[in-house]
Chain A
């Protein structure tokens, strides 16, 4: 029925690498894009989520709102094309040319930026929801005993929020890993692209996609396990959300 012997055979487009090695290099590219995008998403998403909840409406809150609506409401694929094809044309000529010609690995950095900004809007919403789920009394009490606004967030609210948002964040991490596959539309050679290449060269379509499916499932399973372990390690006694089945 299935014949997997092609995996160890040398790939026809490469210089001596086997098809399996190509799949692994694609996996590595997916992992790198995932890590870069997620780092950017957390770096941007957490502050934006915080600005969404500042008590007085103002420029900061409105700007954060616009940021979320902009990056959450435009399809990811469209955003990727805007970053890759449109942005360099809008910038001054020298900057655009630098992006197009001198930036090393432009496909990687474009994908990381596009995916990072898109995911950051989602992270921001999760952080906002987490902040709004805390009792209002905490903020009021902290302010009453003399904390400044920034300290209320950094010392009181965020340490709790970053613990309770772990389950929804885990889903976003998994989504982000799967979304790295859109990189193939701008020529980033990641796991799905490698799979398609091998499928086109060997015509072992069902086998190679089965392999890719397993690689995706194992990767996301690993991400989930790591995040669950982190969640358990960081859990505060008495504050743990009670979930059935644990």
Chain B
């Protein structure tokens, strides 16, 4: 009896997952018109790109760009009645939800990589920042001092690969301590479980103020990230019409000056105070959806 129940459970699983994966994706624009809503995937806690603040369901640098795109789509389709719905996503389910059409745009700090381009499409890149850095205690003067030390890295990020490569190439024998999110990444350094952390600078900055003693750490200046990921908005691959419309919206946003205003609103304030990078200025002149 238990055996039969087991097999039924297996059949049930296959049966449930079958239709979802087999369904041919509907072009995004048709779906938006039909349902009368645009679905934005956002992160509850990924400042400054996408986060919840006060009573607003979602805000942040990328979310504001997405709202601009949504307005543009409404105007282009001549459907002012179309509503915007917000669905919270996390780094591991954002892309699958774009793939299966649950959300129309993933509005977070998603890096535009060639690997990801195999499964989703990207709009024009909207941001490129200072990139990955290593934050270490003062007794670690440079990369060479990391020999035999523990370094904490956030699970599922590109930094995992960077750290593995650095360890292998420089034969450092680093002990990798993995953290499930940014807060834990910082906490592992702060509580002394790790001597250094590796993560995106912009991701780490808002958390630095929460350290017990921020002055006890410094950015290692003898290491540069091999790649800096441009941030973009990922959308369904099957829909060139929607992508073209979103790209038009981004160009219109740049031309109207809204784009730079949006940048200043999120990045020219503490704790960031970051000038727009040269690479990002270049995006504004020559928009591109190139990934790395």
> B-contacting residues of A (Cβ < 8 Å)?
1-2, 12-13, 15, 85, 88-89, 97, 100-101, 106, 184-185, 187, 189, 193, 196-197, 199-201, 203, 205-206, 210, 213-214, 217, 221, 224, 245
Instruction: Tell me whether A193 and B13 are in contact (CB under 8 A).
Output: no
CB-CB under 8 A from B96, the residues of chain A are 199, 203, 205-206
Interface string of B102-116 (1 = CB under 8 A from A): 000000000000011
Instruction: Tell me whether B21 and A185 are in contact (CB under 8 A).
Output: no
CB-CB under 8 A from A2, the residues of chain B are 21
Asked whether A187 and B155 contact (CB < 8 A) given A13-B164, A210-B17, the answer is: yes
Instruction: Tell me whether A101 and B192 are in contact (CB under 8 A).
Output: yes
Q: Which of A15, A85, A199, A213 contacts B13 (CB 8 A)?
A: A213
Instruction: Tell me whether B1 and A97 are in contact (CB under 8 A).
Output: no
**Which stretch of B128-136, B176-184, B216-224, B262-270 is in the interface?**
B176-184
**At the interface, yes or no: B54 with Cβ under 8 Å from chain A?**
no
**At the interface, yes or no: B199 with Cβ under 8 Å from chain A?**
no
Q: Which of A184, A187, A199, A203 contacts B177 (CB 8 A)?
A: A187
- Closest Cβ of chain B to A186, distance in Å, is 8
Query: How far is B188's CA from A240's CA once the two chains are assembled, in angstroms?
Result: 52
CB-CB under 8 A from A200, the residues of chain B are 91-92, 156
Instruction: Tell me whether B191 and A88 are in contact (CB under 8 A).
Output: yes
Tell me the count of chain B residues lying within 8 A, CB to CB, of chain A.
39
Asked whether A201 and B191 contact (CB < 8 A) given A1-B21, A13-B164, A196-B92, the answer is: no
**At the interface, yes or no: B150 with Cβ under 8 Å from chain A?**
yes
Instruction: Tell me whether B119 and A203 are in contact (CB under 8 A).
Output: yes
Instruction: Tell me whether B17 and A206 are in contact (CB under 8 A).
Output: yes
Query: How far is B10's CA from A213's CA once the two chains are assembled, in angstroms?
Result: 9
Asked whether A210 and B13 contact (CB < 8 A) given A13-B164, A217-B6, the answer is: yes
Query: How far is B2's CA from A224's CA once the two chains are assembled, in angstroms?
Result: 11
CB-CB under 8 A from A15, the residues of chain B are 164, 168
**At the interface, yes or no: B161 with Cβ under 8 Å from chain A?**
yes
| Identity of the chain B residue whose Cβ is nearest the Cβ of A220 in the assembled complex | B6
Number of A-B contacts defined by CB within 8 Å: 69
Selected A-B contacts with CB under 8 Å, 6 pairs: A12-B115, A89-B191, A201-B115, A203-B96, A203-B99, A206-B20
| Identity of the chain A residue whose Cβ is nearest the Cβ of B13 in the assembled complex | A213
CB-CB under 8 A from A106, the residues of chain B are 193
CB-CB under 8 A from B203, the residues of chain A are none
Instruction: Tell me whether A101 and B21 are in contact (CB under 8 A).
Output: no
Instruction: Tell me whether A196 and B156 are in contact (CB under 8 A).
Output: yes
Q: Which of A12, A199, A201, A206 contacts B21 (CB 8 A)?
A: A206
CB-CB under 8 A from A206, the residues of chain B are 17, 20-21, 96
- Quick one: which of A15, A200, A201 has the most chain B CB within 10 A? A200
CB-CB under 8 A from A197, the residues of chain B are 155-156
CB-CB under 8 A from B156, the residues of chain A are 196-197, 200
**At the interface, yes or no: B202 with Cβ under 8 Å from chain A?**
no
Instruction: Tell me whether A193 and B155 are in contact (CB under 8 A).
Output: yes
**At the interface, yes or no: B187 with Cβ under 8 Å from chain A?**
yes
- Closest Cβ of chain A to B20, distance in Å, is 7
- Closest Cβ of chain B to A70, distance in Å, is 24
CB-CB under 8 A from B179, the residues of chain A are 187
| Identity of the chain B residue whose Cβ is nearest the Cβ of A89 in the assembled complex | B191
Instruction: Tell me whether B192 and A97 are in contact (CB under 8 A).
Output: yes
Instruction: Tell me whether A245 and B1 are in contact (CB under 8 A).
Output: yes
CB-CB under 8 A from B93, the residues of chain A are 205
Query: How far is B155's CA from A201's CA once the two chains are assembled, in angstroms?
Result: 11
**At the interface, yes or no: B238 with Cβ under 8 Å from chain A?**
no
- Closest Cβ of chain B to A9, distance in Å, is 12
Q: Which of B14, B178, B192 contacts A100 (CB 8 A)?
A: B192
| Identity of the chain A residue whose Cβ is nearest the Cβ of B193 in the assembled complex | A100
**At the interface, yes or no: B247 with Cβ under 8 Å from chain A?**
no
- Closest Cβ of chain B to A13, distance in Å, is 6
Instruction: Tell me whether A187 and B180 are in contact (CB under 8 A).
Output: yes
Query: How far is B5's CA from A245's CA once the two chains are assembled, in angstroms?
Result: 14
- Closest Cβ of chain B to A127, distance in Å, is 25
| Identity of the chain A residue whose Cβ is nearest the Cβ of B187 in the assembled complex | A85
**At the interface, yes or no: B285 with Cβ under 8 Å from chain A?**
no
| Identity of the chain B residue whose Cβ is nearest the Cβ of A104 in the assembled complex | B175
Which residues of B74-122 have CB atoms within 8 Å of chain A's CB atoms?
A: 91-93, 95-96, 99, 115-116, 118-119
CB-CB under 8 A from A205, the residues of chain B are 93, 96
CB-CB under 8 A from B150, the residues of chain A are 101
Query: How far is B21's CA from A203's CA once the two chains are assembled, in angstroms?
Result: 13
